[in-house]
Chain A
Amino acid sequence: QKEVEQNSGPLSVPEGAIASLNCTYSDRGSQSFFWYRQYSGKSPELIMFIYSNGDKEDGRFTAQLNKASQYVSLLIRDSQPSDSATYLCAVNRNQGGKLIFGQGTELSVKP
């Protein structure tokens, strides 16, 4: 079992729709959870982080964390073609240090 699992996709959504990206993790002791966006040929860019159970909203993005189910998700509202990228979920066992990444989910937003 991988430590952090994501559906590799591609996930295709029409412009204006809600994109839902999911991530599960195996270490129940994980403390910090991050979503990064990576455009093709570029480096990862931080979108959001979440530490507590529940929802955290930032503009069009909402991160959701359920520690009991070991599940973290990212919702992108009003998806735009510019949101087309690979989304990486990362988990930290402590509050700092090593980030463990999933393999990423490729999102394609069609005009």
Chain B
Amino acid sequence: EVQLVQSGAEVRKPGESLKISCKGFGYSFISHWIGWVRQMPGKGLEWMGIIYPGDSDTRYSPSFQGQVTISADKSISTAYLQWSSLKASDTAMYYCARAPSGLANWFDSWGQGTLVTVSS
């Protein structure tokens, strides 16, 4: 069974850094794109970017380019989303998801989500 397991909820202050993770189980992690999706409180889904763990090819939404960094460590089947300087507006639920058939297609498995709260 394909499973994506994300790291736990985080609380940070504005200006702090953060790295959250997403570990894949039950499939060839290096062979499928992993995307990140933001959901701000009470709002809809936003595609942030996507990475191919096999060669770390990474694409970003123009809205998130320069604001976050997506990376992956294929040796431990884990993808990451990180911030160097958090803002209050980064408060949201963040989901990772697997694209089974190329970067331009659907997400068939989703992580449980990581809630990030940024508050002074």
Same complex for A and B? Answer no
- Chain A residues within CB distance 8 Å of chain B: none
- Chain B residues within CB distance 8 Å of chain A: none
